[in-house]
Structure 1
Amino acid sequence: MRDKFLQFLGLTKKSGNLVEGYNKCEDILKRNKLFLIILSSDCSENTSDKFIRYCNNYKIPYIQAYTKEDLAIPLGKPEINVLGVTNEQMSKKLLELWNQ
């Protein structure tokens, strides 16, 4: 894996600080326990609009760039559309890697 962002995403999952999936992310987001949302670039328009609206309302940063297959590789899944980071330090590191 060539991308440091995706490598760190895998570490975030291994540490237990990553929530996977639409329903889980929505539930934890509404309880103010997420620090970053990661959306696949090819998720549905409804999903994208809904989570971006949530992020704006709850003041949570989001990243939407990788395909659902690219996001799934470090997680050992075939595809994933919505991810949430529950650790503030790890979310800051992911944002830092994304902005490089």
Structure 2
Amino acid sequence: MASSTPSVTALQKAQDITSRWADGELGAEEAQHALKSVFDHWRPAEATTDAGQVAESSLTAARIAFQDWQQRGENCEELVTQLRWILDPSKDGITDPALNVYAPQRPD
């Protein structure tokens, strides 16, 4: 198994947190704290693989959406919906299993 890049690992963590939040396994406050921690510790880097590039762009977009939502303080369901979409590379036809560990499964 190929080693994961920090961005792919961060994407997997963000996907897991968002999925657990959407499923009710995590409360809003706990999920927001966990996502903030992922975004605070993740540092964009020059991606050397396709998976790394996809992870970088997904995390960048998710962090922007999260920070915007924090400033506006609007409803949590809107944020969860946005993050699930942003963090799901399969929407763009990306099928790399490392990038879709926690992403919602799409019907074929």
Structure that is richer in strand per residue: 1
Structure that is richer in helix per residue: 2
Structure of greater Rg: 2
TM-score of the two chains, using structure 1 as the length reference: 0.28
